[in-house]
Amino acid sequence: MPEWGQLPIPKKVLAKGVRDRVCVSDARMSGASYGACVLHVAPESFVDGSLALVRDGDVFELDIPGRPLTLQVSGEELDRRRAAWRRPSPRYARDYGRLFSEHVSQANEECDCDFLERGAARRRRTRKSNRAG
């Protein structure tokens, strides 16, 4: 889960008069100054989370008080996208990047290192995850 902060509204969107937006991400963010943010969506897209299935032009419904975030795409289309999805190649072959990729759990699992969990079987972040739809 990399960190992204202070993501500006793109210039071409600003040129159309948009001055606010909602940011939806499976990443961390150190601050936001451009509207509502939905962060730490889990499981993240790298391990087959729902955000991996989102395409340009897709519409979301966000109910902030009720908390659901719903992708307004048919189940059949999501099944098609899921069947076509391929896990990206690991970005880091060594050092902290590899350690993070292989051993840090998802945001809904507290982003903890599996080797620090007492009595837990070692698990790898690259395992097949439960899919959120």
Q: Give the pair of three-digit tokens for residue 18.
A: 């948009």
Tell me the C-alpha distance between 44 and 123, whole Å.
16
User: CA nearest 131: which of 17, 47, 29, 72?
Assistant: 47
Active site residue 129: no
* Active-site residue, from 25, 30, 50, 129: 30
The DSSP secondary structure of 44-89, one letter per residue, reads -GGGT-GGGG--TT--EEE-TTT--EEE-S-HHHHHHHHHH--PPP
Sort strands 69-71 and 60-62 into parallel, antiparallel or unpaired. antiparallel
* 90 preceded by a cis bond (ω within 30 of 0): no
Annotated catalytic sites, by residue?
30
